[in-house]
Structure 1
Amino acid sequence: MIKRLLLIVGIIVSLSSCGEDIAYRIEGKLTNLEDQTLYAVFENDDIKAVDTVICEKPGQFLIERKQGDFREVTIFFEDKTHWVTVYPEKGEKVTITGDANYPTMLRVKGGHINDRLSAIKKELAPLLKEQADLIHQLHNRGKESVNNTIEETDVASRLANVNHLLSEEVAAAVKKYPDEEASVILIQNYFMHPDDTRRMDELLAVLNPKLKDFYLVQKLQEYSARAKRTALGAEAPGFNVKNIYGAPVSLDSFPQRYLLLAFTAPWCDMCQTEDLYLDKVATKYPKDKVDMLLISLDDNQSEVRKVLAKDSIDWNLVTDSAGQAAMLVDLYNVSALPRCFLIDEEGKIILKTDNGMEIKHTLENLIE
């Protein structure tokens, strides 16, 4: 009888353990969460898997995945306007707690990386809260029909100071924990600047060489190399593409003149030629002095040709047909639109900007 009872208990335990064979388990309890639908994006290299999660109770959710090998899970919430990234370890439960209004302060526990990052966040909590509050203030002021410029300037100045203090504290944390993968994540989150990688390079050099095989180290090194490719003073990367009329265009197509490369997109309000001063450049300077090439992430060439036919300016334009614009975006390390590069007569990059007035003043100083 005892043997039969032991056998039955063994079977029950075995069956229950099979149900618990879960590779990744993330539990969350967030306060002030308004939208109860979340999206979990599991990632590893080029592999992505997306789960839609509905909170069981207000602010409480459970994410489980039995299969896969993932390095990161990013959870988007509040209609995908906020997110938090966790770094799971197989078989290790992860918990996320905190105020949904302060995503950078959410506490993520479970696994060595998450625990270390949460400990650092706890030390930075006052600065992180002040940063979030100031960003919220600027956002709300932007919605108001009448803005107080003096107050906006004050808030922006305070935010810049907080951002500076945060970067200094984070750099100190990286130097304090040079052996830990969490430090690499901090470098990625705070020092991945597309136009200036000096601080990132400095902190990468501080890391223990044993971290060289950590996937993010290689990613950051490659990012730094791409950024240096289009740094001020660098030789502009060469290319061979065709414009919307089928004519071949390369860097050599613009000899002995300034070339303004302008990356735009049809959905980008700031990308309009008048906002970037491009129409003024086209009409003010002869092409043997200043020439332009527009790169637009627009795949409908026939529609673009119809629009250009009505324009008095003869634009030289490359669209995303056959991935040409996307290739140039990657080649020139364009991280946001619009983005303009001014290349001098020797083929060197002398200006990177998204500001039309800066383009205007730079050309006036160079030519006039």
Structure 2
Amino acid sequence: MSKFRIIIAICLIISSFNSCKDENKVTIKGEISNLDYPYVIVTHFSTDVLTVDTLKIGNKGQFNYRTSIDTLTIFTFYFNNYNSSAIVFADKGEKISIKGDATLPDLIQVNGNEINDDLTLFKKENEALLKQRAELLNNMKIDRMENTNQGILSENEKIVRLNSLNHELTQKAEDFVRKNPSKIASVILINNLFRDTENPTTLERVLKYLEGEASNFPLTEDLRMHCNKVKLSAEGAHLPYFQLVDTKNDTIRSIDFSGKYVVLSFLSASDKESKEEINVLKNEYNNLNKDSVQFISIYIDSEKYPITTISNDSIPWITVAEKKSWASDIVKTYNIHYVPYNILISPDGTIKRRNIPAHEVKKAIANGAKWS
């Protein structure tokens, strides 16, 4: 073989190699406004390894990200020092674009393949609703940070308004899923808007709409398993068994309180709302028959352990400081996503009320006693 032919062969091999490398590349270009930091953080998993990259941004919030992947991958872009984020679905060889406002992450538009395009279409069709919800959430966040109340609505009115907007949004999402049962975007919407629902029957209902590719998608199976798990601690279910060690180093078990009403309260030692919740629970507790009721407060702070402020609250009932915090078994078993959070359990071990307000505990127990 002549040298010329050898050179040509080598060039073809290199060209072929580079072509294969390019086929595995994904390019994601973005333009995000209202960025307070000169960088964007992007993360994704590759063969079970979390990759974290920092991207510099241009004067107009522009950035460009290029990496190699071999299958459909979920990228998370974090803005303003992790205060907001956007999810991108991308496969090898694709070119994806991101555009939007960092202060309105739910409205950030992602385009470049069917999943992103479908999700962006849903956002556009419900832009007014999503914008109202985002602005209300931002307002409530400022209230918590500054310990004030912004705007004409009271805190309770804002919560009622947020619940109303969330309900309307889930209705829109369910309608989308019903009309698009085989789209992967339907699975993503179910995961985003129905996964943390208090009522597992709602999640179960929307999952039944899925067909074809969407029904067989790995996330769908995860959602089905999650739904079955949530049922175990839903209203009407028998309380899942638990065993805990309280702050007196005594072991307590769920079966120890058979025949009594049990109020499980999940709290934070450093959270203002939890401290207010304790005061209301104390008032309720003082007006109940201690022989027929047992309160148990479970502190799940992640920043400090051991928790030293429990004793300062002078709580007259059982308290538990969970070492594993949000990763603890009881938090997972009872499907707890935020604090304060109360669960009322009847003397026969049935979960009567989830997320019951502290000031309704006495009334709910009184009504339960009448019904039994």
TM-score after normalising by structure 2: 0.82
Match 1:244 to one of 236, 242, 247: 247
Asked if the contact 1:26–1:62 (Cα under 8 Å) also holds between the matched residues in 2, the reply is yes
**Pair 1:73–1:308, CA change in 2 (3 A):** closer
Could you say which residue in structure 2 is the equivalent of 1:291? 294
Q: Does 1:256 align with 2:263?
A: no
**Pair 1:122–1:326, CA change in 2 (3 A):** same
Query: Any unmatched runs of 5+ in structure 2?
Result: none
Alpha-carbon shift at residue 141 of structure 1 (Å)? 7.1
Could you say which residue in structure 1 is the equivalent of 2:237? 234
Q: For the residues of structure 1 that align with 2:44 and 2:176, how far apart are their CA atoms?
A: 27
**Pair 1:270–1:232, CA change in 2 (3 A):** same
Asked if the contact 2:34–2:102 (Cα under 8 Å) also holds between the matched residues in 1, the reply is yes
Match 2:55 to one of 53, 56, 64: 53
Asked if the contact 1:42–1:70 (Cα under 8 Å) also holds between the matched residues in 2, the reply is no
Asked if the contact 1:194–1:333 (Cα under 8 Å) also holds between the matched residues in 2, the reply is no
Report the AA paired with residue 87 of structure 1: F
Deviations 1:182-223 (A, max 9, x none): 111111222224311333222211111543331211121122
Alpha-carbon shift at residue 68 of structure 1 (Å)? 6.9
Could you say which residue in structure 2 is the equivalent of 1:176? 179
Could you say which residue in structure 2 is the equivalent of 1:332? 334
Q: Does 1:216 align with 2:219?
A: yes
**Pair 1:303–1:155, CA change in 2 (3 A):** closer
Alpha-carbon shift at residue 314 of structure 1 (Å)? 4.3
**Pair 1:96–1:3, CA change in 2 (3 A):** same
Q: Does 1:94 align with 2:96?
A: yes
Alpha-carbon shift at residue 99 of structure 1 (Å)? 3.1
Could you say which residue in structure 2 is the equivalent of 1:32? 34
Q: Does the residue aligned with 1:94 lie in a helix, a strand or coil?
A: strand
Map 1:266-281 → 2, pairs under 5 A: 266-272=269-275, 275=278, 277-281=280-284
Alpha-carbon shift at residue 85 of structure 1 (Å)? 0.6
Asked if the contact 1:277–1:360 (Cα under 8 Å) also holds between the matched residues in 2, the reply is no
Q: For the residues of structure 2 that align with 1:10 and 1:289, how far apart are their CA atoms?
A: 83
Deviations 1:63-121 (A, max 9, x none): 23335756311111122221111111122222112333332222212232112222332
Asked if the contact 2:342–2:358 (Cα under 8 Å) also holds between the matched residues in 1, the reply is no
Q: Does the residue aligned with 2:115 lie in a helix, a strand or coil?
A: helix
Structure 1 stretch displaced more, 326-335 or 285-294: 285-294
**Pair 1:322–1:352, CA change in 2 (3 A):** closer
Match 1:64 to one of 52, 63, 66: 66
Identity %: 27
Query: Any unmatched runs of 5+ in structure 1?
Result: none
Could you say which residue in structure 1 is the equivalent of 2:268? 265
Alpha-carbon shift at residue 290 of structure 1 (Å)? 0.9
Q: For the residues of structure 1 that align with 2:319 and 2:155, how far apart are their CA atoms?
A: 38
Q: For the residues of structure 2 that align with 1:214 and 1:24, how far apart are their CA atoms?
A: 22
Q: For the residues of structure 2 that align with 1:273 and 1:34, how far apart are their CA atoms?
A: 34
Could you say which residue in structure 1 is the equivalent of 2:87? 85
**Pair 1:161–1:280, CA change in 2 (3 A):** closer
Q: Does the residue aligned with 2:126 lie in a helix, a strand or coil?
A: helix
Asked if the contact 2:101–2:108 (Cα under 8 Å) also holds between the matched residues in 1, the reply is yes
Map 1:121-200 → 2, pairs under 5 A: 121-136=123-138, 149=152, 162-200=165-203
Q: For the residues of structure 2 that align with 1:13 and 1:49, how far apart are their CA atoms?
A: 28
Structure 1 stretch displaced more, 160-169 or 194-203: 160-169
**Pair 1:314–1:199, CA change in 2 (3 A):** closer
Alpha-carbon shift at residue 328 of structure 1 (Å)? 0.6
Q: For the residues of structure 2 that align with 1:301 and 1:165, how far apart are their CA atoms?
A: 38
Q: For the residues of structure 2 that align with 1:54 and 1:268, how far apart are their CA atoms?
A: 35
Report the AA paired with residue 129 of structure 1: K
Match 2:206 to one of 203, 207, 229: 203
Asked if the contact 1:94–1:109 (Cα under 8 Å) also holds between the matched residues in 2, the reply is yes
**Pair 1:319–1:179, CA change in 2 (3 A):** same
TM-score after normalising by structure 1: 0.82
Q: For the residues of structure 2 that align with 1:136 and 1:264, how far apart are their CA atoms?
A: 23
